[in-house]
Structure 1
Protein backbone atom coordinates (compact mmCIF):
# COMPACT_ATOMS: atom_id res chain seq x y z
CA UNK A 1 0.00 0.00 0.00
CA UNK A 2 1.38 3.40 -1.01
CA UNK A 3 2.09 6.09 1.59
CA UNK A 4 3.23 9.71 1.33
CA UNK A 5 5.42 10.97 4.17
CA UNK A 6 6.59 14.58 4.44
CA UNK A 7 10.00 15.07 6.09
CA UNK A 8 12.02 18.21 6.75
CA UNK A 9 14.89 19.51 8.84
CA UNK A 10 17.72 22.02 9.21
CA UNK A 11 20.60 19.85 8.00
CA UNK A 12 21.22 16.53 6.27
CA UNK A 13 24.21 14.47 5.22
CA UNK A 14 23.76 11.50 2.90
CA UNK A 15 27.43 10.61 2.67
CA UNK A 16 28.96 9.65 -0.64
CA UNK A 17 30.93 6.40 -0.07
CA UNK A 18 33.71 7.37 -2.49
CA UNK A 19 34.75 10.19 -0.13
CA UNK A 20 37.03 8.66 2.49
CA UNK A 21 37.93 11.02 5.33
CA UNK A 22 35.73 14.06 4.85
CA UNK A 23 31.97 13.66 4.58
CA UNK A 24 30.35 14.96 1.39
CA UNK A 25 26.59 14.62 0.93
CA UNK A 26 24.67 13.59 -2.14
CA UNK A 27 22.47 16.35 -3.57
CA UNK A 28 19.29 14.61 -2.38
CA UNK A 29 18.20 11.90 0.03
CA UNK A 30 19.13 8.40 -1.10
CA UNK A 31 16.59 5.53 -1.27
CA UNK A 32 18.36 3.66 1.54
CA UNK A 33 18.29 6.76 3.78
CA UNK A 34 14.59 7.22 3.05
CA UNK A 35 13.88 3.59 3.93
CA UNK A 36 15.85 3.90 7.17
CA UNK A 37 13.92 7.04 8.11
CA UNK A 38 10.55 5.35 7.58
CA UNK A 39 11.69 2.27 9.52
CA UNK A 40 12.61 4.54 12.44
CA UNK A 41 8.93 5.55 12.59
CA UNK A 42 7.49 2.04 12.32
CA UNK A 43 9.17 -1.28 11.63
CA UNK A 44 7.93 -4.84 11.88
CA UNK A 45 9.63 -8.07 10.72
CA UNK A 46 6.46 -8.95 8.82
CA UNK A 47 6.80 -6.01 6.42
CA UNK A 48 9.40 -4.62 4.03
CA UNK A 49 9.45 -1.02 2.78
CA UNK A 50 10.11 -0.07 -0.83
CA UNK A 51 10.89 3.53 -1.80
CA UNK A 52 9.07 4.57 -4.98
CA UNK A 53 9.80 8.28 -5.37
CA UNK A 54 11.44 11.12 -3.47
CA UNK A 55 10.06 14.61 -4.12
CA UNK A 56 12.31 17.66 -3.70
CA UNK A 57 10.38 20.58 -2.18
CA UNK A 58 13.20 23.05 -1.49
CA UNK A 59 16.31 24.07 -3.49
CA UNK A 60 19.52 22.11 -2.93
CA UNK A 61 21.75 24.12 -0.59
CA UNK A 62 25.16 23.03 0.68
CA UNK A 63 26.91 24.22 3.82
CA UNK A 64 30.47 23.50 4.96
CA UNK A 65 30.84 22.68 8.64
CA UNK A 66 33.46 21.20 10.96
CA UNK A 67 32.47 18.45 13.37
CA UNK A 68 34.16 16.64 16.24
CA UNK A 69 34.29 12.91 15.57
CA UNK A 70 35.73 9.98 17.49
CA UNK A 71 38.39 8.28 15.36
CA UNK A 72 38.50 5.00 17.33
CA UNK A 73 35.87 2.33 17.90
CA UNK A 74 35.43 -0.51 20.35
CA UNK A 75 35.91 -3.99 18.96
CA UNK A 76 32.86 -6.22 19.10
CA UNK A 77 35.09 -9.03 20.38
CA UNK A 78 36.11 -6.86 23.37
CA UNK A 79 32.46 -6.12 24.17
CA UNK A 80 31.60 -9.83 23.93
CA UNK A 81 34.49 -10.67 26.24
CA UNK A 82 33.26 -8.09 28.78
CA UNK A 83 29.76 -9.57 28.63
CA UNK A 84 31.26 -12.92 29.61
CA UNK A 85 32.99 -11.44 32.65
CA UNK A 86 36.21 -10.21 31.09
CA UNK A 87 37.85 -6.81 31.32
CA UNK A 88 35.54 -3.91 30.43
CA UNK A 89 36.91 -2.06 27.36
CA UNK A 90 37.44 1.67 27.68
CA UNK A 91 37.45 4.43 25.07
CA UNK A 92 38.81 7.80 26.15
CA UNK A 93 36.85 10.31 24.08
CA UNK A 94 39.19 13.21 24.86
CA UNK A 95 42.15 11.34 23.38
CA UNK A 96 40.32 10.15 20.28
CA UNK A 97 38.49 13.29 19.12
CA UNK A 98 39.48 14.82 15.81
CA UNK A 99 37.93 17.54 13.72
CA UNK A 100 36.67 16.74 10.24
CA UNK A 101 35.15 18.92 7.58
CA UNK A 102 31.76 18.02 6.12
CA UNK A 103 29.80 19.34 3.15
CA UNK A 104 26.18 18.91 4.22
CA UNK A 105 22.75 19.89 2.93
CA UNK A 106 20.95 22.78 4.55
CA UNK A 107 17.20 23.42 4.99
CA UNK A 108 15.95 20.17 3.45
CA UNK A 109 12.33 19.29 2.68
CA UNK A 110 11.12 16.14 0.92
CA UNK A 111 8.09 13.94 0.44
CA UNK A 112 8.80 10.20 0.44
CA UNK A 113 6.45 8.00 -1.56
CA UNK A 114 6.76 4.38 -0.43
CA UNK A 115 4.89 1.12 -0.13
CA UNK A 116 5.47 -2.10 1.76
CA UNK A 117 5.08 -5.79 1.11
CA UNK A 118 4.47 -8.62 3.54
CA UNK A 119 7.32 -10.98 4.40
CA UNK A 120 7.41 -14.60 5.50
CA UNK A 121 7.92 -13.40 9.09
CA UNK A 122 4.40 -11.97 9.29
CA UNK A 123 2.14 -13.55 11.89
CA UNK A 124 -1.17 -15.17 10.86
CA UNK A 125 -3.08 -12.17 12.19
CA UNK A 126 -0.96 -9.60 10.31
CA UNK A 127 -2.29 -7.94 7.17
CA UNK A 128 -1.45 -4.84 5.07
CA UNK A 129 -4.41 -2.83 6.40
CA UNK A 130 -3.28 -3.37 9.99
CA UNK A 131 0.27 -2.21 9.29
CA UNK A 132 -0.90 0.82 7.32
CA UNK A 133 -3.24 1.91 10.13
CA UNK A 134 -0.44 1.60 12.70
CA UNK A 135 1.93 3.64 10.52
CA UNK A 136 -0.68 6.36 9.99
CA UNK A 137 -1.40 6.59 13.72
CA UNK A 138 2.30 6.94 14.49
CA UNK A 139 2.69 9.64 11.83
CA UNK A 140 -0.28 11.56 13.24
CA UNK A 141 1.00 11.37 16.83
CA UNK A 142 4.69 11.92 16.03
CA UNK A 143 5.62 8.52 17.46
CA UNK A 144 8.74 6.62 16.46
CA UNK A 145 11.00 3.78 17.63
CA UNK A 146 13.97 6.15 17.64
CA UNK A 147 14.43 9.70 16.37
CA UNK A 148 14.48 9.67 12.55
CA UNK A 149 17.46 11.51 11.12
CA UNK A 150 18.87 12.75 7.84
CA UNK A 151 21.99 10.59 7.51
CA UNK A 152 23.58 11.50 10.87
CA UNK A 153 22.05 11.31 14.32
CA UNK A 154 22.79 14.98 15.00
CA UNK A 155 20.55 15.95 12.05
CA UNK A 156 17.03 15.02 13.29
CA UNK A 157 14.12 14.81 10.86
CA UNK A 158 10.60 16.11 11.42
CA UNK A 159 7.87 13.99 9.86
CA UNK A 160 4.15 13.76 9.20
CA UNK A 161 1.82 12.18 6.69
CA UNK A 162 1.30 14.10 3.47
CA UNK A 163 -2.43 14.46 3.02
CA UNK A 164 -3.18 14.74 -0.66
CA UNK A 165 -2.38 13.18 -3.99
CA UNK A 166 1.11 12.58 -5.30
CA UNK A 167 0.21 14.60 -8.39
CA UNK A 168 -0.36 17.68 -6.21
CA UNK A 169 3.03 17.65 -4.45
CA UNK A 170 4.76 20.98 -5.28
CA UNK A 171 8.10 19.52 -6.33
CA UNK A 172 10.68 21.97 -7.69
CA UNK A 173 10.88 22.14 -11.50
CA UNK A 174 14.47 20.90 -11.48
CA UNK A 175 15.92 18.27 -13.83
CA UNK A 176 19.47 17.12 -13.15
CA UNK A 177 21.68 14.06 -13.67
CA UNK A 178 22.92 13.04 -10.22
CA UNK A 179 25.35 10.36 -11.40
CA UNK A 180 25.76 7.07 -9.58
CA UNK A 181 23.99 7.00 -6.21
CA UNK A 182 23.88 4.45 -3.41
CA UNK A 183 20.66 2.45 -3.70
CA UNK A 184 20.97 -0.03 -0.84
CA UNK A 185 23.17 -2.67 0.77
CA UNK A 186 22.88 -6.33 -0.18
CA UNK A 187 22.85 -8.47 2.99
CA UNK A 188 22.14 -11.77 1.23
CA UNK A 189 25.66 -12.91 2.18
CA UNK A 190 26.52 -11.65 5.70
CA UNK A 191 30.18 -12.41 5.07
CA UNK A 192 30.21 -10.24 1.94
CA UNK A 193 27.87 -7.25 2.28
CA UNK A 194 27.84 -5.39 -1.03
CA UNK A 195 26.87 -1.84 -1.92
CA UNK A 196 24.30 -1.39 -4.66
CA UNK A 197 24.30 1.69 -6.90
CA UNK A 198 22.02 3.08 -9.60
CA UNK A 199 22.12 5.96 -12.09
CA UNK A 200 20.06 8.66 -10.39
CA UNK A 201 18.31 11.46 -12.25
CA UNK A 202 16.07 14.19 -10.94
CA UNK A 203 13.11 14.77 -13.28
CA UNK A 204 11.10 17.91 -12.46
CA UNK A 205 12.09 17.60 -8.82
CA UNK A 206 11.28 13.88 -8.54
CA UNK A 207 13.80 11.07 -7.97
CA UNK A 208 12.14 7.93 -9.32
CA UNK A 209 13.51 4.83 -7.56
CA UNK A 210 11.21 2.26 -9.19
CA UNK A 211 12.51 -0.41 -11.57
CA UNK A 212 16.02 1.03 -11.62
CA UNK A 213 19.03 -0.90 -12.90
CA UNK A 214 21.20 -1.72 -9.89
CA UNK A 215 24.98 -2.19 -10.05
CA UNK A 216 27.04 -3.95 -7.37
Structure 2
Protein backbone atom coordinates (compact mmCIF):
# COMPACT_ATOMS: atom_id res chain seq x y z
CA UNK A 1 0.00 0.00 0.00
CA UNK A 2 1.22 3.46 -0.92
CA UNK A 3 -0.01 5.64 1.92
CA UNK A 4 -0.21 9.42 2.10
CA UNK A 5 -0.93 12.05 4.74
CA UNK A 6 -2.67 15.24 3.72
CA UNK A 7 -3.37 18.22 5.97
CA UNK A 8 -6.57 20.03 5.01
CA UNK A 9 -8.03 23.15 6.56
CA UNK A 10 -10.52 25.92 5.97
CA UNK A 11 -12.66 28.60 7.55
CA UNK A 12 -15.95 26.71 7.38
CA UNK A 13 -17.33 23.25 6.64
CA UNK A 14 -20.72 21.56 6.48
CA UNK A 15 -20.94 17.77 6.23
CA UNK A 16 -24.73 17.54 6.22
CA UNK A 17 -26.45 14.83 8.21
CA UNK A 18 -28.86 13.00 5.85
CA UNK A 19 -31.50 12.63 8.58
CA UNK A 20 -32.03 16.41 8.63
CA UNK A 21 -34.69 17.04 5.99
CA UNK A 22 -35.11 20.82 6.00
CA UNK A 23 -32.26 22.62 7.74
CA UNK A 24 -28.62 21.70 7.19
CA UNK A 25 -26.89 20.32 10.27
CA UNK A 26 -23.26 19.24 9.97
CA UNK A 27 -21.62 16.18 11.44
CA UNK A 28 -19.09 17.01 14.14
CA UNK A 29 -16.19 16.13 11.83
CA UNK A 30 -15.41 15.40 8.21
CA UNK A 31 -16.85 12.14 6.87
CA UNK A 32 -14.78 9.45 5.08
CA UNK A 33 -16.64 10.10 1.82
CA UNK A 34 -15.87 13.83 2.00
CA UNK A 35 -12.21 13.05 2.73
CA UNK A 36 -12.12 10.74 -0.28
CA UNK A 37 -13.61 13.50 -2.43
CA UNK A 38 -10.74 15.81 -1.49
CA UNK A 39 -8.15 13.24 -2.58
CA UNK A 40 -10.02 12.57 -5.83
CA UNK A 41 -10.01 16.29 -6.59
CA UNK A 42 -6.20 16.15 -6.54
CA UNK A 43 -5.76 12.90 -8.47
CA UNK A 44 -8.22 10.24 -9.57
CA UNK A 45 -8.44 7.79 -12.43
CA UNK A 46 -10.77 4.81 -13.03
CA UNK A 47 -7.76 2.60 -12.33
CA UNK A 48 -7.53 3.58 -8.64
CA UNK A 49 -9.82 3.80 -5.64
CA UNK A 50 -8.94 5.84 -2.56
CA UNK A 51 -9.38 4.30 0.87
CA UNK A 52 -9.48 6.47 4.01
CA UNK A 53 -7.61 4.82 6.88
CA UNK A 54 -7.66 7.47 9.58
CA UNK A 55 -8.78 11.03 10.22
CA UNK A 56 -7.11 13.22 12.83
CA UNK A 57 -8.99 16.24 14.14
CA UNK A 58 -6.33 18.85 14.91
CA UNK A 59 -8.48 21.85 15.90
CA UNK A 60 -11.28 22.03 18.50
CA UNK A 61 -14.74 21.21 17.17
CA UNK A 62 -16.76 24.44 16.99
CA UNK A 63 -20.08 25.30 15.34
CA UNK A 64 -21.61 28.43 13.88
CA UNK A 65 -25.06 29.34 12.53
CA UNK A 66 -25.87 31.12 9.28
CA UNK A 67 -28.91 31.56 7.05
CA UNK A 68 -28.52 31.00 3.33
CA UNK A 69 -30.65 31.42 0.24
CA UNK A 70 -31.36 28.06 -1.36
CA UNK A 71 -33.83 26.82 -3.97
CA UNK A 72 -36.60 24.38 -3.14
CA UNK A 73 -36.35 22.45 -6.41
CA UNK A 74 -34.03 21.81 -9.34
CA UNK A 75 -34.56 21.21 -13.03
CA UNK A 76 -35.12 17.48 -13.41
CA UNK A 77 -33.92 15.17 -16.14
CA UNK A 78 -37.54 14.36 -16.99
CA UNK A 79 -38.27 18.04 -17.67
CA UNK A 80 -35.25 18.31 -19.95
CA UNK A 81 -36.24 15.17 -21.90
CA UNK A 82 -39.79 16.47 -22.25
CA UNK A 83 -38.51 19.78 -23.62
CA UNK A 84 -36.23 18.01 -26.13
CA UNK A 85 -39.19 15.92 -27.33
CA UNK A 86 -41.41 19.00 -27.70
CA UNK A 87 -38.79 20.91 -29.67
CA UNK A 88 -38.12 17.96 -31.97
CA UNK A 89 -41.83 17.52 -32.68
CA UNK A 90 -42.75 21.18 -33.16
CA UNK A 91 -39.49 22.51 -34.54
CA UNK A 92 -39.80 25.65 -32.44
CA UNK A 93 -37.87 26.82 -29.43
CA UNK A 94 -39.45 26.82 -25.99
CA UNK A 95 -38.35 29.09 -23.10
CA UNK A 96 -36.88 26.88 -20.42
CA UNK A 97 -35.45 28.18 -17.17
CA UNK A 98 -35.95 28.24 -13.42
CA UNK A 99 -36.87 31.53 -11.81
CA UNK A 100 -34.91 31.69 -8.52
CA UNK A 101 -37.30 34.35 -7.20
CA UNK A 102 -40.12 31.80 -7.19
CA UNK A 103 -38.26 28.87 -5.65
CA UNK A 104 -35.90 30.71 -3.29
CA UNK A 105 -36.04 29.72 0.38
CA UNK A 106 -34.07 30.87 3.38
CA UNK A 107 -32.71 27.97 5.41
CA UNK A 108 -30.57 27.81 8.50
CA UNK A 109 -27.25 25.98 8.47
CA UNK A 110 -25.44 24.66 11.53
CA UNK A 111 -21.88 24.43 10.23
CA UNK A 112 -18.35 23.90 11.51
CA UNK A 113 -15.87 26.75 11.70
CA UNK A 114 -12.07 26.91 11.68
CA UNK A 115 -11.56 23.26 10.77
CA UNK A 116 -8.33 21.34 10.26
CA UNK A 117 -7.76 17.62 9.70
CA UNK A 118 -4.98 15.23 8.78
CA UNK A 119 -6.21 12.54 6.37
CA UNK A 120 -4.31 9.25 6.24
CA UNK A 121 -5.20 7.19 3.18
CA UNK A 122 -3.97 4.79 0.54
CA UNK A 123 -5.27 3.70 -2.86
CA UNK A 124 -5.96 0.36 -4.47
CA UNK A 125 -5.97 -0.61 -8.10
CA UNK A 126 -9.39 -1.45 -9.53
CA UNK A 127 -10.49 -3.88 -12.21
CA UNK A 128 -10.20 -1.00 -14.70
CA UNK A 129 -6.44 -0.84 -14.26
CA UNK A 130 -4.30 -1.65 -17.31
CA UNK A 131 -0.73 -3.00 -17.29
CA UNK A 132 0.45 0.62 -17.48
CA UNK A 133 -1.45 1.56 -14.32
CA UNK A 134 1.10 0.69 -11.68
CA UNK A 135 0.89 1.72 -8.04
CA UNK A 136 4.22 3.55 -8.31
CA UNK A 137 2.93 5.58 -11.26
CA UNK A 138 -0.23 6.84 -9.57
CA UNK A 139 1.51 7.36 -6.24
CA UNK A 140 4.12 9.63 -7.84
CA UNK A 141 1.45 11.50 -9.81
CA UNK A 142 -0.42 12.26 -6.60
CA UNK A 143 2.75 13.36 -4.81
CA UNK A 144 3.73 15.68 -7.65
CA UNK A 145 0.29 17.29 -7.87
CA UNK A 146 -0.16 17.63 -4.09
CA UNK A 147 3.28 19.21 -3.66
CA UNK A 148 2.43 21.85 -6.25
CA UNK A 149 -1.08 22.44 -4.90
CA UNK A 150 -2.63 21.22 -8.16
CA UNK A 151 -6.16 19.85 -8.38
CA UNK A 152 -8.67 19.06 -11.12
CA UNK A 153 -11.25 21.13 -9.27
CA UNK A 154 -11.05 23.04 -6.00
CA UNK A 155 -11.92 20.58 -3.21
CA UNK A 156 -14.50 21.73 -0.70
CA UNK A 157 -15.74 20.90 2.78
CA UNK A 158 -19.23 19.58 2.07
CA UNK A 159 -20.52 22.67 0.22
CA UNK A 160 -18.81 24.37 -2.70
CA UNK A 161 -18.70 27.73 -0.92
CA UNK A 162 -16.39 26.22 1.72
CA UNK A 163 -13.09 25.66 -0.16
CA UNK A 164 -10.31 23.40 1.12
CA UNK A 165 -6.66 24.35 1.56
CA UNK A 166 -4.36 21.34 1.51
CA UNK A 167 -0.72 20.46 2.12
CA UNK A 168 1.07 17.15 1.60
CA UNK A 169 2.79 15.97 4.78
CA UNK A 170 6.05 14.16 4.06
CA UNK A 171 9.04 14.90 6.30
CA UNK A 172 7.33 17.53 8.43
CA UNK A 173 5.64 16.60 11.69
CA UNK A 174 1.83 16.72 11.45
CA UNK A 175 -0.07 18.93 13.90
CA UNK A 176 -1.10 17.01 17.03
CA UNK A 177 -4.73 15.84 17.29
CA UNK A 178 -6.99 17.33 19.91
CA UNK A 179 -7.13 15.54 23.26
CA UNK A 180 -10.79 14.63 23.20
CA UNK A 181 -12.91 11.49 23.10
CA UNK A 182 -16.31 11.73 21.47
CA UNK A 183 -18.99 9.34 20.28
CA UNK A 184 -19.86 10.77 16.86
CA UNK A 185 -22.89 8.53 16.40
CA UNK A 186 -23.89 6.95 13.11
CA UNK A 187 -21.90 8.60 10.34
CA UNK A 188 -22.09 8.18 6.57
CA UNK A 189 -19.17 6.11 5.31
CA UNK A 190 -19.91 6.08 1.59
CA UNK A 191 -22.45 5.28 -1.11
CA UNK A 192 -22.58 1.72 -2.46
CA UNK A 193 -23.08 2.38 -6.17
CA UNK A 194 -23.17 -1.35 -6.93
CA UNK A 195 -26.30 -1.72 -4.77
CA UNK A 196 -28.75 0.90 -6.03
CA UNK A 197 -26.70 3.73 -4.51
CA UNK A 198 -27.39 2.51 -0.98
CA UNK A 199 -25.83 4.59 1.82
CA UNK A 200 -23.54 2.81 4.26
CA UNK A 201 -23.16 4.05 7.82
CA UNK A 202 -20.84 3.19 10.68
CA UNK A 203 -20.62 4.05 14.38
CA UNK A 204 -17.85 6.63 14.43
CA UNK A 205 -15.75 6.97 17.56
CA UNK A 206 -13.13 9.64 18.14
CA UNK A 207 -10.40 8.70 20.64
CA UNK A 208 -7.96 11.46 21.53
CA UNK A 209 -8.83 13.29 18.34
CA UNK A 210 -8.33 10.26 16.04
CA UNK A 211 -11.06 8.50 14.05
CA UNK A 212 -10.00 5.10 12.72
CA UNK A 213 -12.00 3.75 9.77
CA UNK A 214 -12.63 -0.03 9.97
CA UNK A 215 -11.21 -1.73 6.82
CA UNK A 216 -14.27 -4.01 6.63
CA UNK A 217 -16.36 -1.01 5.53
CA UNK A 218 -14.34 -0.58 2.35
CA UNK A 219 -14.59 -4.29 1.60
CA UNK A 220 -18.37 -4.25 2.00
CA UNK A 221 -18.96 -1.18 -0.17
CA UNK A 222 -16.50 -2.16 -2.93
CA UNK A 223 -16.95 -5.93 -2.94
The question of a shared fold, defined as TM-score above 0.5 by the shorter chain, is answered with yes
Unaligned runs of 5+ in 1: none
- The equivalent residue for 1:158 is 165
- The equivalent residue for 2:184 is 178
3-state SS of the aligned residue for 1:138? Answer: helix
Q: By how many angstroms is 1:169 displaced?
A: 4.4
- The equivalent residue for 1:115 is 122
Once residues 158 and 107 of structure 1 are traced to their aligned partners in structure 2, the CA distance between those partners, rounded to angstroms, is 12
What is the aligned residue count? Answer: 213
The structure with the largest alpha-carbon Rg is 2
Structure 1 residues 88, 126: CA separation in 2 closer, same or farther (over 3 Å shift)?
A: farther
Q: By how many angstroms is 1:137 displaced?
A: 1.1
- The equivalent residue for 1:195 is 199
TM-score by length of 1: 0.92
2:72 is aligned with 1:68: no
Q: By how many angstroms is 1:213 displaced?
A: 6.1
3-state SS of the aligned residue for 1:90? Answer: coil
Structure 1 residues 11, 122: CA separation in 2 closer, same or farther (over 3 Å shift)?
A: same
Does structure 2 retain, via aligned residues, the 8 Å contact 1:66–1:101? Answer: yes
Does structure 2 retain, via aligned residues, the 8 Å contact 1:82–1:88? Answer: no
Once residues 82 and 88 of structure 1 are traced to their aligned partners in structure 2, the CA distance between those partners, rounded to angstroms, is 9
Once residues 133 and 88 of structure 1 are traced to their aligned partners in structure 2, the CA distance between those partners, rounded to angstroms, is 49
| CA displacement 1:118-177 (0-9 Å, x = unmatched) | 0111122110111011111111111111110000000000111012488x5411111111
3-state SS of the aligned residue for 2:170? Answer: coil
Q: By how many angstroms is 1:89 displaced?
A: 3.0
Structure 1 residues 152, 107: CA separation in 2 closer, same or farther (over 3 Å shift)?
A: same
